Amino acid sequence: MNDSDARPEPDDDPAPAVADPATGEVRVLARLCDTCIYRPGNLMNLAPGRVRQLATEALAVDGHIVCHSTLPALAPPGTKGAICRGFANAHGNAIYALRIGAAFGRIVEVPPPAKPA
């Protein structure tokens, strides 16, 4: 297998947008997805310290963590990106997109996507 045959890791994909430019609505998961990186037990088998690193990097640029279950490589077709509920619970007031969405009353809680069959 050569490099062109290798499937990229899901977190290598560009993060999908979590806001609808037409309405200004900002999507955040209504609850933790089944394998949320903020659940106990390291369900995504991340390296030690990786969640802290992701959060630190996101907050340093007024960003957020997109729920991995809404990433194009993992989500059912047509799924729209949403802010990770675990990240929102841990860092709510520090998340720029949530502050802006809240200021305009445009936060929309969406259920985690259905698991592929």
Over 80: is that where the pLDDT of 114 sits?
yes
Q: What is the pLDDT of residue 54?
A: 93
Q: What is the pLDDT of residue 3?
A: 41
Q: Where are the domains of the chain?
A: 17-110
Assign 3-class secondary structure to the chain: CCHHHCCCCHHHCCCCCCECCCCCCEEEECCCCCCCCCCCCCCCCCCCCHHHHHHHHHHHCCCCCECHHHCCCCCCCCCCCCECHHHHHHHHHHCHHHHHHHHCCCEEEECCCCCCC
pTM for the model stands at: 0.84
> What is the average pLDDT value for the chain, to the nearest integer?
86
